[in-house]
Structure 1
Amino acid sequence: MTISDGGELPTRLEGQLSAMVFCWVLGLGSLVAWNSMLTIGDYYYNLFPKYHPSRVLTLVYQPFAIGTMAILAYNESKINTRLRNIVGYLLFTASSFMLIVLDLATSGKGGVGSFIGLCAIVGCFGVADALVQGGVVGEISFMLPEFIQSFLAGLAASGALTSGLRLVTEAAFENSNNGLRKGTMLFLAISTFIEFLCVLLYAFIFPKLPIVKYFRSKAASEGAKTVQADLAAAGIQTKEDQRHEDNAERSNRLSNKQLFFQNIDYALGLFLIYVLSLSIFPGFLFENTGKHKLGPWYPLVLIAAYNLWDLVSRYLPLLKFLKIESRKGLMIAILSRFLLIPSFYFTAKYGDQGWMIMLVSLLGLTNGHLTVCVLTEAPKGYKGPEQNALGNLLVLCLLGGIFAGVALDWLWLIGTKNAF
């Protein structure tokens, strides 16, 4: 089969609903491994009580993620997207499995050697995150906004799923001998299975959906060469005359620098969303909220509340009247979230657990809603190759915000008994 342009847009029955479901699953696989690590934080606090695992592991994860993402965003137009995403999901699968191997090899014991091994695996998670998240967001940015929304909802669903499973395993193994470790092993096994499922889904099923083939062919006709391997996997060959047109199209596309400055408000907005969220979640919730009636369940409930409302909020923009489309409106909403910082401080110091759960829910609600609004609005008005590049740049800013937020999270320890 050959194709020289996008052709006619397939109907919804020819793949849109299926593609949305698959984007959701791919989003789930993009963060389920890392969210599993965050959700079983109580297990790692039990093994490494003096190492601040929630904060340290997040801080290890981010330099690998943002460093890899910076390289990939700079070279985005030359990268085989299909290979990039498959390698990313395979790395997630292997790293999740290695966590199980590490725990079995050390018999579930702590110590500096085990912690260093854990940090090394977490670094692999960071590389995989950059490969997959930037690759998929960049690719679906030249498709439909609904695909981006579904992918982002899948990201949030990974948090909600792991939190729900953690509460179930906490209850199931609460009175069992070595129950915390058993629950952790179950977690990691499920995570490994989901990651492997994403490898199969992206490699063999997603490329063959009619609507996906349409948008990839359209992007190729506009000069994108990142989709050539995907088109070949779907049995589509580009014509020779199209390749000559591609060279002309690429010479006319906006540079990454131009794209960045045209969308600097969106880029800054994503950065600030995640600076705030990660300066509180998860380190502050594990270490700075005190002891309450819920006991060991308290941080698990807080993590679950954040993840649940983060997931719910990513569907709210589907309601037209709730979606923020104004660029100024988005920035005002993003800046307003910083009022949550003093709210968390005084609630942790003087409030009870009910107020803290409400605040955490609000943090998750605003995080998901604003993320979807930014990433679905930003790519509008550009051609396929530019939308792909912009998607990668925005994910780089998102990861930069996460890294800055994780670093700032340590400031909550100043003046506490177990500061550093």
Structure 2
Amino acid sequence: MGICLFVAVFGVADALIQGGMLGDLALMCPEFTQSFLAGMAASGALTSALRLFTEAVFTNIDTGLRKGAILFLSISTIFEFLCIFLYAFVFTKLPIVKHYRRKAALEGSQTVSSDLFAAGVQTDLSEKLVNGNLDRLSNKELLFQNLDYALDLFLIFVLTLSIFPGFLYENTGQHQLGSWYPLVLVATFNVWDLISRYIPLIQCLKLESRKGILILVIMRFLLIPAFYFTAKYGDQGWMIVLVSVLGLTNGYLAVCVLMVAPKGYKGPEQNALGNLLVFFLLGGIFLGAALDWLWLIGNGSF
């Protein structure tokens, strides 16, 4: 119970920081958003490496699973606190962050103005008036204009989290790798997820078409029957291929959406849109994790 509560607290902290970061980065360069998302994927790859390490060290030890989990959570906690510290005390003082926040404040952003004031940077109202109209689209208008992007992110993570990681642990059967098999699948997903988040940096491979993104997002749902039948009739090689496709499309499409969506808006609107999109992203993660339990039906574990 204590571990569950501990994980829940850090889940809330992660959601708050993720929303704040993507809201800030949305009003900056799209490449900053890509770097942040790639960093998130890198943390997933590092987590997999850590899990493989604990499996190797504690696999033949009594209560090894518990000891491995405690070590895993301890190291993760250190990194989590480090990230919170960096965001609260270092990120806000970076010159590039102050520059973009000041630019957004001059365009009428109240939340960014408060952040600047807290960091000791003043913005003059007369400068705001000189820089033009302070009016901005409401959150409702922003959402309706970008409903397809919000739906894209929601569906991307609903599908991903409905398969990863629960299905990979519960429904892939017994194979030559034994207890290492689900760990290898999870590591495979995380590695391809990380690689795919750098693909949009190659301009000719960056997908900016709203219809194109939506079509690919919907096509990903073909992975559900593919995983089901592969788990039932296929071997571990095909499962690794499917997991690679899942990771590749997850990272690539998420980065494309979050890099393209804020374009053409003023700073305050980009900031608000970033927060709105993260809300749908996290909603997809929540629903996907909940739907993950459906794989247990008919598996003898429900």
TM-score (norm 1): 0.68
Once the two structures are superposed, the pairs formed by residues 16-415 of structure 1 within 5 Å of their partners are 114=1, 117-242=2-127, 249=134, 252-415=135-298
Deviation at 1:272, TM superposition (A): 1.1
* Gap runs ≥5 in structure 2: none
Per chain length, whose mean CA-contact separation is higher, i.e. which structure has more relative contact order (CA < 8 Å, sep 6+)? 2
Deviation at 1:233, TM superposition (A): 4.6
Aligned letter for 1:203? A
Cα deviation, 1:186-236, whole Å, max 9, x if unaligned, reads 222221221222233223322222211110100110111212343235431
- Distance in 2 (alpha carbons) for counterparts of 1:245 and 1:404: 46
- Distance in 1 (alpha carbons) for counterparts of 2:196 and 2:147: 24
- Distance in 2 (alpha carbons) for counterparts of 1:388 and 1:211: 16
Instruction: Summarize the Cα distance change of 1:189–1:404 in structure 2 as closer, same or farther, 3 Å threshold.
Output: closer
- Distance in 1 (alpha carbons) for counterparts of 2:140 and 2:224: 33
- Distance in 2 (alpha carbons) for counterparts of 1:150 and 1:163: 20
Deviation at 1:354, TM superposition (A): 1.2
Deviation at 1:248, TM superposition (A): 6.1
Cα deviation, 1:340-389, whole Å, max 9, x if unaligned, reads 11110100000111111111111011000000000000000001110111
The Cα RMSD (Å) is 2.0
Cα deviation, 1:302-329, whole Å, max 9, x if unaligned, reads 1111111111111111111111011111
Aligned letter for 2:179? P
Deviation at 1:390, TM superposition (A): 0.5
Instruction: Summarize the Cα distance change of 1:335–1:127 in structure 2 as closer, same or farther, 3 Å threshold.
Output: same
- Distance in 2 (alpha carbons) for counterparts of 1:400 and 1:232: 32
Aligned letter for 1:371? A
Cα deviation, 1:163-182, whole Å, max 9, x if unaligned, reads 01111221123334443333
Q: Secondary structure at the match of 1:223?
A: coil
Cα deviation, 1:255-291, whole Å, max 9, x if unaligned, reads 1111111111111111111111111111111111111
